[in-house]
Structure 1
Amino acid sequence: MKVIARLLSIPLTLIAMLVLWLAVSPFTPHISYWGAGSLIGPQYIGPLLLIALVLVILAALGALASRSCYVPSVLAGIALVASVGLLGTQIHAAKEQGTDVDIPAAFTWTGVEKADEGPDHTVTYDSFNGDDLTMDIYSPETHSIRSGSSHPRKHPVMMYVHGGGWDQMTKRSQAFNMRQMAQRGYLVLSIDYTLSSWEQPTWKVAAGQVGCAMNWVNAHAADYGGDSERFFTYGESAGGQLVLNATADVAAHPSQLPFTDCSGTPAVPSAVYADSPALDVRHIYDSDDPYAGQGSRDTVEKYLGGTPKEYPDRADFVTSATHLTSDMPPIMIVRSDHDRLVPPASYDDFRQRAKDKGVELEEYVRPHADHASALSAHGVWNQHLLQAMTEFFQANDLEDDL
């Protein structure tokens, strides 16, 4: 028994150290390299808590046979306490925001890119350099009828723009959330756009492609049961920046999109929800985080075709604050308190510009979280995202109820 316990102590110690790192780092995010665990821990803290609990039990049983299991016992115990504390903080904060948290669901380990079924349709909304730009369509699963009318009621439309630093990820990155929003009665659209690379910076075209997708909404949403006058946009990280910039542009120029070569008149969004939007490339480029800093700089350089100092006009063009006008519809921004990829200071100019222009801006800060922490399908923060976004869109709908 002692031999088995000693053999088990090594893997138990290693696993306990990993879980401890992911559970504790959200409380200590500013420790170099160590704090990078906060990019993962808050998203999957439910499953990590279960792992810590199992480790505590196994290590305690091993400690009865050998002192070599004392170390993993202590490590697993600390990880368990930290996990309980972090999950409890998330639940409390989400409930304060009105989220009806499904606590058992938070213990499952599924990413938002996973969905039980794919989109109902995929269409081409534009092209760029000979390549098709495509859009996934998720049809509403409810079919409401207008009161006193025998005609089917058209559904509100939500368009999602994915994140990934302008150079990665796809329109399927939040397939779970797309289907969830369709189940809530929205015609959901998720678009691809041209990704940046060292050979092809996209600072001038990406937001314009989002605007071209808004042209498609105005022209074709009704073909799929959607109402283009009840139109909402959502994006996270780089997608949040793109959707904010495009929404601001079409709101200010509703008859014809600037900075694009696509024809048509865009649908004008009634509200925009942005999760951890990359509002200011200068702040992102200047990140001094030892873990994420170089990646952030590379991302910005690929997007701009160089550094913000080399191309200040390009940096100004993509900075979201420069696009805001008094015509901008209501905005909700949800971000994290310790975002190492999009520094909190990057929101300051945008917040002031919104105030100066009289733009309605709501902002919520997730505690003990890092960049885009709502990427676990059943995690507390994604539960909050789905409920908060639905309520925000409903509050800004032209009609009182779905």
Structure 2
Amino acid sequence: MLPGARETDAVTEIVEPEPRPRSRWSPIRIPLLALAALLGIYTMLAQLLALMPVSWTVPVLRMGFVQLVVLGVGWVRDWLGSWNVVLAGAAVVAALFAVRVRGSWPSGSVVSMTAVGLVMCVVTSVGLAVSAHDATGTWLPFAPLPLVAAGRSPDQTVTYATIEGQPLRADLYLPPAGPDPAPLVVRIHGGGFSAGSRGPTPYNHWLAGHGYAVLDVDYRLADADHPRWNTEDADIGCALTWATAHAGKYHWDPNRVATFGGSAGGNLAINVAYKANAGRLRPSCGDVAAVPKIRAVVAVYPVVNLTASAGDSIDGERIARTYLGGPVADHPDRYAATDSARQVTPAAPPTLLFHGGGDHLVFASRTAEFADTLTAAGITNRYVELPYLDHGFDAEVLNTGTRVGREITLDWLERHDKP
């Protein structure tokens, strides 16, 4: 030791290395948050559109892409039916697990969003279940898996006429053979008067199983060069004359005929029936004397007022212009000839109107107004509106809306299409 130096105690400090921070974006957290976020965004958007009054969305429905998105989201929501609650619950679970893996502001926000979406899902599901009970008198159980189509193939397909070189075909759904001729339901497809075709639906084979023969018909469709405002109902009249001529062969009763359609088909179901009973339907084939009297009408989300619908949305305007050949200012007579309220006479048959309260293409308010017109004219009618459902809610699967539609349709036919 050097002179003057002082001996000190040597202290050895052992410093342990800091733990390596866990990666914020772990392989587990990223897919969990992504799944929760996607499900949460869908749930929030779908349920918000269901809960928001349709009238609030009118400004954006004038934009084609936006209306397409709105209708697409509504279609998916209605197609999934009760399973929206399952998806919303899965979103919450995924978000909560992501928080457990690594809590942070993004995951906390996703948790909040999915939780709000789940609450909204429960509100709409309960509201729809209560309305379904009010309409049918029964509580409908949890809907089946959404991937299972509710339609079945027809028993037979026929060509009922060939007009302007175009074969017009119809699918037959026949009930079990019985001692008495079966009542006949003429089903008319939708598609904005310019698209769509006959085909399996949740109603056709089901009605056949309950004793009704179903004739699901095609008709000539409109396009830019061929507005069909004065031929589509005539083609349905043609199919009616064919049905009369072949009643003996297929063992159905030509004196017990009902028309049934959705959307554009709902308009045609109403107008054909009202014109037929008033003696004003001119079929595009066959003898006018062979047009049967219509005993009952079932119209689902029908386009009863093309004049008003053309101003409600961009797609409504497109449909009206294609079908009628231009805007109402150019063709007021054509619009008047297709608006269902103008067809009402004392001979109009009992009419069931069924609509979704969240329809962003054909507003339910238009159908409710038409029901009021029927009531004022003394025509037997029933208007059933289920909340939250958008256009085409009963087209594919056996969700709550379809189950209600089946029950009230069968009840209406049994009430008003008896011998």
**1:346-385 per-position Cα deviation (integer Å, ceiling 9, x unaligned):** 3466345434542212112222233343235211111000
CA distance in 2, matches of 1:99, 1:235: 24
Match of 1:122 in 2: 157
1:57 aligns with 2:93: yes
Match of 2:186 in 1: 159
Which of 330, 333, 336 is residue 350 of structure 2 equivalent to? 330
Residue 341 (structure 1) shift: 1.8
CA distance in 2, matches of 1:101, 1:107: 15
1:321 aligns with 2:344: no
CA distance in 2, matches of 1:11, 1:318: 47
Pair member with larger Rg? 2
* TM-score of the pair, normalised by structure 1: 0.87
* TM-score of the pair, normalised by structure 2: 0.84
**Structure-2 change in CA distance of 1:119 and 1:77 (3 Å):** same
CA distance in 2, matches of 1:111, 1:160: 22
SS of the residue 1:375 aligns to: coil
Q: Note the aligned Cα RMSD (angstroms).
A: 2.3
Superposition pairs of residues 333-348 of structure 1, within 5 angstroms:
333-347=353-367
Superposition pairs of residues 2-401 of structure 1, within 5 angstroms:
3-8=26-31, 9-29=33-53, 30-31=56-57, 32=60, 33=66, 36=71, 37-67=73-103, 68-104=106-142, 106-110=143-147, 115=151, 117-140=152-175, 142-144=176-178, 152-172=179-199, 174-253=200-279, 257-258=281-282, 260-263=284-287, 265-287=290-312, 293-347=313-367, 350-351=370-371, 353-399=373-419
CA distance in 2, matches of 1:107, 1:59: 26
Are the equivalent residues in 1 in contact too, given 2:353–2:371 (CA < 8 A)? Answer: no
Are the equivalent residues in 2 in contact too, given 1:340–1:370 (CA < 8 A)? Answer: yes
**Structure-2 change in CA distance of 1:394 and 1:110 (3 Å):** farther
Partner AA of 2:134 in structure 1: E
SS of the residue 2:202 aligns to: helix
Query: Unpaired segments of 5 or more residues in structure 1?
Result: 145-151, 288-292
SS of the residue 2:293 aligns to: coil
**Structure-2 change in CA distance of 1:101 and 1:186 (3 Å):** farther
Residue 336 (structure 1) shift: 2.7
CA distance in 1, matches of 2:209, 2:198: 18
**Structure-2 change in CA distance of 1:101 and 1:161 (3 Å):** farther
SS of the residue 1:76 aligns to: helix
**1:273-326 per-position Cα deviation (integer Å, ceiling 9, x unaligned):** 111110111111111xxxxx2222111111011111111111111111111211
SS of the residue 2:159 aligns to: strand
CA distance in 2, matches of 1:268, 1:202: 24
Residue 93 (structure 1) shift: 0.7
SS of the residue 1:41 aligns to: helix
CA distance in 1, matches of 2:91, 2:184: 46
**Structure-2 change in CA distance of 1:110 and 1:257 (3 Å):** same
CA distance in 2, matches of 1:188, 1:307: 35
Partner AA of 1:274 in structure 2: A
CA distance in 2, matches of 1:232, 1:320: 17
CA distance in 1, matches of 2:248, 2:397: 30
SS of the residue 2:185 aligns to: strand
Residue 221 (structure 1) shift: 2.9
CA distance in 1, matches of 2:356, 2:39: 27
SS of the residue 2:170 aligns to: strand
CA distance in 1, matches of 2:272, 2:384: 22
Residue 168 (structure 1) shift: 1.3
Partner AA of 1:12 in structure 2: A
Segments ≥4 residues shifted beyond 4 Å: 31-36
Query: Unpaired segments of 5 or more residues in structure 2?
Result: 1-21, 61-65
Match of 1:290 in 2: none
CA distance in 2, matches of 1:99, 1:215: 37
Are the equivalent residues in 1 in contact too, given 2:299–2:354 (CA < 8 A)? Answer: yes
Partner AA of 2:191 in structure 1: G
Residue 178 (structure 1) shift: 0.8
